[in-house]
Amino acid sequence: ASSKSSSSVTTGIISGRTYAIISRHSGKALDVRDNSSSNGAIIQQWSYGGSANQLWTVTQLSGNTYKIINNSSGKSLDVSGVSNNNGAAIQQWDFSNGTNQNWIISDLGNGYVKVIAKNSNKSLDVKDVSSADGTAIQQWDYSGGTNQQWQFQIK
């Protein structure tokens, strides 16, 4: 029965696999700005080109909670300052298993998921519903907008 738990089967996420994380509204990938390896580097969207700063290893922590680690820098997807505020920046940081680095991935039933920060209960969100390369990723209350829906494409 556990092999059919709602977390792994419904999201389709396979722990330990590498993914491109693609925004539904723009078709662009989560990307570490300037391929930086520094703590605090901004996460943005950018046209997918297959480089390591656009690839993320997703590892299950428990249930439907995951850590999301960048393949280039080895750093975690992270809510800046452990903020609970709408508009807080999404950055990369050394993984310390903080709740701002724990992500709840929930299937939306349409090939997409929502990705919610455990610390704030807010969604990964493409700022201003922009389709432009270089647009920052932030957290925001989940409203079901396509800029808050993500496809995890196995690589």
Which residues, 6+ apart, have CB-to-CB distance to 75 below 8 Å?
Answer: 32, 37, 39, 41, 69, 92, 93, 94, 95
pTM of the model: 0.92
**In whole angstroms, what is the distance from residue 108 CA to residue 116 CA?**
12
Could you tell me if residue 128 is left (phi over 0), alpha (psi between -120 and 50 degrees) or otherwise beta?
Answer: left
Q: What local confidence, expressed as pLDDT, does residue 3 receive?
A: 35
pLDDT by position in tens, the chain (length 155): 333 333 333 468 999 999 999 999 999 999 999 999 999 999 999 999 999 999 999 999 998 999 999 999 999 999 999 999 999 999 999 999 999 999 999 999 889 999 999 999 999 999 999 999 999 999 999 999 999 999 999 99
Q: What local confidence, expressed as pLDDT, does residue 11 receive?
A: 64
Q: Tokens representing 113?
A: 């998921």
The H-or-E segment that residue 57 falls in is strand 56-62
Q: Tokens representing 42?
A: 């901004």
